[in-house]
């Protein structure tokens, strides 16, 4: 009888310990997987959250493979909508827009003054993102609309995210590259933005969604609420993002 009581006590204690662990895991800040272009603004929107920044396509793949993300914020609906169709995330919400620009170093060694100049510089060192990275997708859309896809042959590297492009331009390792206008704002001491013709400008839409496998859904919903709040939209606007 005593052995049975002891076993019962151990079982109750174990259940309580597991419940305590689960509860502690479910509380606290959310873990947010977000596009690299959101690196500077998201910590201002939610200082307590934990962030993992990278290209949206890489983050989507990691989440599909079971990465411990509570929230996914993508620089392209392509990836949020794909995860939603496959039951990996809850319904995405649009929260911001952005614009693409041609960025050049302030020294402008290639003497570039418009996007058309890219085709006129035989020794041009262009830096772009890979074809599956959102900014890479947008870049190819712009060049196709302008009939300039041939300039991709002058790319000296295919970066894994937009921050890689900014870094190479800032270090003078390339003459030009396509980035978001928000990225040039954060590196304005080193880079200049050349606007693109309106007819070539792609629709750059950001979406956020809660990951269905999240162990901290309460924290995830709190982050999304902060992002969509008046204060959240104000921080995005300050960083140069447009409304959805």
Confidence of residue 5 (pLDDT cuts 50, 70, 90): very low
Backbone angles phi, psi at 46, to 5 degrees: -145, 85
Instruction: Quick: pLDDT tens for 192-220.
Output: 999 999 999 999 999 999 999 999 999 99
User: Which tokens go with 192?
Assistant: 């200049």
Q: Lowest mean pLDDT: which of 27-31, 46-50, 203-207, 229-233?
A: 27-31
CATH code for position 66: 3.40.190.10
Confidence of residue 28 (pLDDT cuts 50, 70, 90): confident
Residue 239 CA to residue 219 CA, distance in Å, equals: 24
159-184 average pLDDT score: 97
Q: Is the pLDDT of residue 107 over 70?
A: yes
Based on the fold, state whether residues 116 and 193 are members of the same structural domain.
yes
Based on the fold, state whether residues 68 and 30 are members of the same structural domain.
yes
155 inside domain: yes
Which 8-state DSSP code applies to residue 117?
G
- Say how many domains are in the chain: 2
Confidence of residue 186 (pLDDT cuts 50, 70, 90): very high
Based on the fold, state whether residues 15 and 31 are members of the same structural domain.
yes
Based on the fold, state whether residues 126 and 191 are members of the same structural domain.
yes
Residues 6+ apart with CB under 8 A from 162: 36, 37, 55, 75, 129, 133, 135, 179, 180, 183
pTM score over 0.85: yes
Based on the fold, state whether residues 141 and 217 are members of the same structural domain.
no
Based on the fold, state whether residues 126 and 68 are members of the same structural domain.
no
244 inside domain: no
What per-residue string of b and e applies to 112-149 under the rule 16 or more CB within 10 Å gives b?
beebebbeebeebbbbbbbebbbbbbbbbbbbeebeee
pLDDT on residue 212: 97
231 inside domain: yes
Stated as kind and residue range, the H or E segment containing 124 is none
Instruction: Quick: pLDDT tens for 51-64.
Output: 999 999 999 999 99
Residue 36 CA, chain-centre distance (Å), reads 4
Mean pLDDT of the chain: 91
18-26 average pLDDT score: 41
Based on the fold, state whether residues 82 and 59 are members of the same structural domain.
yes
Based on the fold, state whether residues 177 and 216 are members of the same structural domain.
no
Based on the fold, state whether residues 9 and 81 are members of the same structural domain.
yes
109 inside domain: yes
Least Cα distance to 162 among 66, 31, 70, 57 occurs for 57
243 inside domain: no
Which one is predicted more confidently, 163 or 5? 163
Based on the fold, state whether residues 23 and 142 are members of the same structural domain.
no
Q: Which domain holds residue 135?
A: 100-200
């Amino acid at each position: 009888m005593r052995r049975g009581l002891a076993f019962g006590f151990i079982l109750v204690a174990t259940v309580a310990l597991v419940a305590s662990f689960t509860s502690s895991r479910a509380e606290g800040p959310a873990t947010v997987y977000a596009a690299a272009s959101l690196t500077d603004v998201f910590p201002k929107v939610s200082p307590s959250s934990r962030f993992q920044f990278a290209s949206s396509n890489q983050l989507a793949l990691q989440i599909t493979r079971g990465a411990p993300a509570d929230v996914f914020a993508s620089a392209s609906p392509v990836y949020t909508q794909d995860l939603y169709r496959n039951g990996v995330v809850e319904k995405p919400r649009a929260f911001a827009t952005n614009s693409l620009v041609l960025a050049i170093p302030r020294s402008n060694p290639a003497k570039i003054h418009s996007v058309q100049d890219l085709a006129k510089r035989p020794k041009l060192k262009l830096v772009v993102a890979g074809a599956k990275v959102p900014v890479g997708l947008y870049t190819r859309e712009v060049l196709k609309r302008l009939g300039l896809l041939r300039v991709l042959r002058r790319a000296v590297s295919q970066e894994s995210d937009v921050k890689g492009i900014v870094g190479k331009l800032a270090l003078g390792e390339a003459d030009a590259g396509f980035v978001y206008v928000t990225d040039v704002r954060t590196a304005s001491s080193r880079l200049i933005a050349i606007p693109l013709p309106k007819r070539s400008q792609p629709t750059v839409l950001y979406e956020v969604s809660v990951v269905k496998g999240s162990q901290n859904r309460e924290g995830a919903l709190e982050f999304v609420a902060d992002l969509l709040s008046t204060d959240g939209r104000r921080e995005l606007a300050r960083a140069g993002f447009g409304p959805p």
